[in-house]
Structure 1
Amino acid sequence: MSATAVKASAKTRSKPNGRVLVVDDEHAICWAIERSLTEKGYQVDVAASAEEGLAKAAKEPPQIIFLDVRLPGEDGLSALSKFKSLESTTPVIIMTAFGDLKTAVAAVGQGASDYLTKPFDLRDVTEACTKNIGHYTGHRRESENSTEHQQTLVGKSAAMQVVFRQIAFFAFSDMSVLITGETGTGKEVVASAIVANSSRHEQPYLAVAPVAMNPELIESELFGHARGAFTGAEVERAGLFETAQGGTVLLDEIGELPLSLQAKLLRVLEQGEYSRVGESVTRKCDVRVLAATNCDLESAVAVGAFREDLFHRLNGLQIHLPPLRERPEDILLLCEHFLAPHGMRASELMSDELIGELAKRPWPGNVRELKNAVCQAAVWAGKRRFQLADFPESSAARSSTSVAEAVVTWARDYMNTHPDTTDLLAAFQNAVEPGLFEFAIKHAAGNRANAAEILGIHRGTLRARLKAHDS
């Protein structure tokens, strides 16, 4: 290799991957990012204020900007538009230690290309650079945020920060969103927040649970019907999708939608069209569909209880809400939120020990159960500080107690009618097993192997017990 070739090769190796500007008044953050990215071949410049950062960006435009929200002088969110005005295609990554839905939506709405919540892994910074430098076609997204909806979602946990970030980005899309999570985690609240921050926020928003409808009329409720389509259809009627034209629909408990209607819903999602019951005319539909479920749809797909093509169409974007037991650090914030309308502050009325005890509870009813418990405690406590005794017993504990009491009552009644019995245990098993097996099989979406695993027995044992009960 010639000397010229060697020099050219060395020059190529020393060429930086891109220029990065970090705007943060925390010296440790700037130092860590600068060191990490420099090792990866980036040229890094830092600024301790928005004003300093704007001056540096104007003098030598960076290819990506990491911008903190809380800064001395002008804050990061108000400065964001100024950075974008210098070069609209430069990706700006917002950083904050005080993340909430309002901040996330505001950042994305003003053109931020990503959102990092402190403390973050430095690998996230490197990934942001790799993903955004040279690939970002930035544009400002306008939205009129609904404070009412934003305030209903509360949390500082890492899991909830992910949810806030997803809502902020998904709100500006027209793709379907599948919202999953246990009962009481706030799936409807998330759907409302998506709608409130979307371009369709002034259009109709209808939330329904088809499973709660009359099974014989679900198709008519969703898609409408023509006059005379069935007995009692004396006049034509518009369905849910026609009423929500131009807006958004939330289909709650989507996992319970009958298979016969899943194909029709798929047609709406893929082709934007449908037909009323008893009518051959094809109607156009412009509706964004959000769906929510506490079921495992993948398992339902595996056993044929849910269409695979519909699942993939709904699952284009997914938000999973964590159960409350997995984010105990949000307990105090949630209590503050629930007590605020009553002019009360949880931080003043609830000790650290009490919050710790509440954080240990399993909360099977999740946020909804916590809200009811806090409001009940507020009534019992009056104006004094809350005590654990003011809170209702955990629903999980109540459930255990009620089951034990029910068993004792059943046994007592059985002995009264069978005083000479010598097979009480067998009689009890025969009484409870059919219902328990039915529940496990339904929970496993019809998969008996999975149901047996849930029950903790071999599937051959389950098969034999089911056969015995049927005989």
Structure 2
Amino acid sequence: MTSKQTVLVVDDEPSICWALEKMLTGEGHDVVTASSAEEGLRLASQHQPAMVVLDVRLPKADGITSLPKFLKATGNAPVVIITAFGDLETAVAAVKNGATDYLTKPFKLDDALRTCRLALQRSSRPTEPKASQSANSTASVLVGSSPAMQHVFRQIALVADSDLSVLITGETGTGKELVAAAIHRHSHRADQPYIPIAPVALNPDLIESELFGHIKGAFTGAVDDKAGLFERGDGGTVLLDEIGDLPLGTQVKLLRVLEQGEYTRVGDTSPRKTDVRILAATNCDLHSAVAAGDFREDLFHRLTGMQIHLPPLRERVDDIPPLCEHFLTSMGYDESTLDGHLVAELQSRHWHGNVRELKNTVEHAAVVARGRALATADFPAPKPGRGAGATASIQTLNQIVAAWSQQAIADNPTTETLHSDLLAKIEPPLMQVVLNHVQGNRGKAAEMLGIHRSTLRDRLRAYGIDD
């Protein structure tokens, strides 16, 4: 902050007002404080502050309801909302009502300072704050109170009502589809079509027909004209799941949709216009795919108007209790059926399938319990490859690799291909087991291995493996 400005802080907690006042006066600003919305509005009219820091929970009138009044009283000065209830609905309501940003209690002063600085740098505000809109009530909602999920909620709230393309990243089962649905649900396109599609699940020969449509006679079997999803989704939102598996040729045509808002049906020559918002999701490292030439760099940059990363469950174990309560409640159970001992046991597990695996596990236990309080025996055992058995297997594997390495070095002390020789021994059986497990589906095999589909294809060819 370079110039002296007046900031209004409205919070009924004296300690919050004191801390923010000290922080902002230290930046060289004048600070006035209020303990209620009514007092804050009176001070706003008197002092015309350059920014308002407004708590949600206030005596009588709450912050969300009062927010439009503060915007009117201050001539649309930036408003930063403070909330102790860091859920997605509050975040979206705050932004839709015109808030510039929001902080979740308890917050660090460094975070508050950074947020206030950015808010004061805002040169303009929307002239008409939008009315709050509640999301549809469904069982498939984002749940979490951890700092990591609060960051995700904040990103959704800030980007939802724009038309930016969003790239959603994260491991399988973290909830990427739920993030996409939440962005659409809280956008100005909410009453328009929402079409999620996974190109990897489509016949490779028909991907472009599904995306862009085709005209009669475009190929064998095209007996009629067909609208693609960009035509059916006009005005709405399209989610392209596992975008990393999109063929390069189709990537070029998708780039045209993003840059020019137009596409051409397969077999046609006349371009058509479309107004769709494109969201993309992937569990792959697109940076590596770009470096390997498997994904277009220009498309990557066009897709990432904002990137939202969903952390794996192992990085937010504090969210396991509320997630379990949510799953149980959606099944008609009282969340109190899950005691502290069970919660601790669930938090100690390795959730490689993330939230999706946790949901399946809790639902399994609920079905087995048949309405009584849940017990440890109701939950399925950790899947093979986890827990003590996994540790023993890893130790055995480490011993085998060490013995092989020692022998290989003894046979050829000057070797320069030790790493590639080891991979040639280990990768073929690994890939064969995975291919058998997914019944030869290379897309699913690549996802399970955590590598790009083209990388899997090249290595199968090199190893002479036929799926």
The verdict on how the C-alpha distance between 1:304 and 1:377 changes in structure 2, with shifts beyond 3 A counting, is same
SS of aligned partner of 1:94 = strand
**Tell me, which stretches of 5 or more residues in structure 1 are unaligned?**
1-14, 406-428, 452-462
Q: Is structure 2 residue 114 aligned with structure 1 residue 120?
A: no
Contact 1:207/1:250 (CA < 8 Å) preserved in 2? yes
Contact 1:363/1:396 (CA < 8 Å) preserved in 2? no
The verdict on how the C-alpha distance between 1:195 and 1:467 changes in structure 2, with shifts beyond 3 A counting, is closer
Q: Is structure 2 residue 329 aligned with structure 1 residue 340?
A: yes
Contact 2:245/2:453 (CA < 8 Å) preserved in 1? no
Residue type of the alignment partner of 2:361: A
Match of 1:187 in 2: 176
The verdict on how the C-alpha distance between 1:435 and 1:103 changes in structure 2, with shifts beyond 3 A counting, is same
Give CA-to-partner distance per residue, 1:77-99, whole Å, 9 cap, x none: 11111111212321110011111
Of structures 1 and 2, the larger Rg is shown by 1
Q: Is structure 2 residue 348 aligned with structure 1 residue 360?
A: yes
Percent identity reads: 56
Distance 2:242 2:61 in 1: 45
Residue type of the alignment partner of 1:388: T
Match of 1:318 in 2: 307
Residue type of the alignment partner of 1:240: L
More displaced, 149-158 or 333-342?
Answer: 149-158
Contact 1:249/1:287 (CA < 8 Å) preserved in 2? yes
The verdict on how the C-alpha distance between 1:198 and 1:36 changes in structure 2, with shifts beyond 3 A counting, is same
Give CA-to-partner distance per residue, 1:48-91, whole Å, 9 cap, x none: 11122112112212111111111122111111111112123211
Match of 2:410 in 1: none
Contact 2:45/2:74 (CA < 8 Å) preserved in 1? no
Distance 2:454 2:140 in 1: 41
Distance 1:402 1:19 in 2: 60
Distance 2:464 2:215 in 1: 46
Deviation of 1:152 after TM superposition, in Å, equals 0.9
Match of 2:16 in 1: 29
Kindly report which structure 2 residues correspond to 1:71-470, keeping only aligned pairs within 5 A, or say none.
71-133=58-120, 135-139=122-126, 140-142=129-131, 144-148=133-137, 152-346=141-335, 348-395=336-383, 397=385, 433-436=427-430, 443-445=450-452
Distance 2:276 2:461 in 1: 45
Relative to the length of structure 2, the TM-score reads 0.83
Residue type of the alignment partner of 1:78: T
Distance 2:429 2:299 in 1: 31
Relative to the length of structure 1, the TM-score reads 0.82
Distance 1:371 1:443 in 2: 22
Deviation of 1:220 after TM superposition, in Å, equals 0.7
Distance 2:30 2:171 in 1: 46
Contact 1:255/1:293 (CA < 8 Å) preserved in 2? yes
Contact 2:170/2:310 (CA < 8 Å) preserved in 1? yes
Give CA-to-partner distance per residue, 1:320-345, whole Å, 9 cap, x none: 11111111111111111111133323
The verdict on how the C-alpha distance between 1:149 and 1:91 changes in structure 2, with shifts beyond 3 A counting, is farther
SS of aligned partner of 1:249 = strand
Deviation of 1:151 after TM superposition, in Å, equals 6.8
SS of aligned partner of 1:66 = strand
Contact 1:149/1:196 (CA < 8 Å) preserved in 2? no
Distance 1:118 1:343 in 2: 31
Deviation of 1:33 after TM superposition, in Å, equals 1.1
Distance 1:163 1:92 in 2: 20
Deviation of 1:436 after TM superposition, in Å, equals 3.0
Match of 1:55 in 2: 42
The verdict on how the C-alpha distance between 1:168 and 1:315 changes in structure 2, with shifts beyond 3 A counting, is same
Distance 2:200 2:207 in 1: 8
SS of aligned partner of 2:257 = helix
The verdict on how the C-alpha distance between 1:104 and 1:252 changes in structure 2, with shifts beyond 3 A counting, is same
Deviation of 1:380 after TM superposition, in Å, equals 2.5
Deviation of 1:384 after TM superposition, in Å, equals 3.4
Match of 1:6 in 2: none
Residue type of the alignment partner of 2:97: Q
The verdict on how the C-alpha distance between 1:17 and 1:369 changes in structure 2, with shifts beyond 3 A counting, is same
Residue type of the alignment partner of 2:251: Q
Report the number of matched residues.
420
Distance 1:323 1:390 in 2: 25
Residue type of the alignment partner of 1:352: G
Distance 1:162 1:468 in 2: 44
Distance 2:81 2:146 in 1: 18
Residue type of the alignment partner of 2:367: V
Residue type of the alignment partner of 2:279: L
Task: Please report the RMSD computed on the Cα atoms of aligned residues, expressed in angstroms.
Answer: 3.0
Deviation of 1:397 after TM superposition, in Å, equals 4.2
**Tell me, which stretches of 5 or more residues in structure 2 are unaligned?**
394-422, 433-444
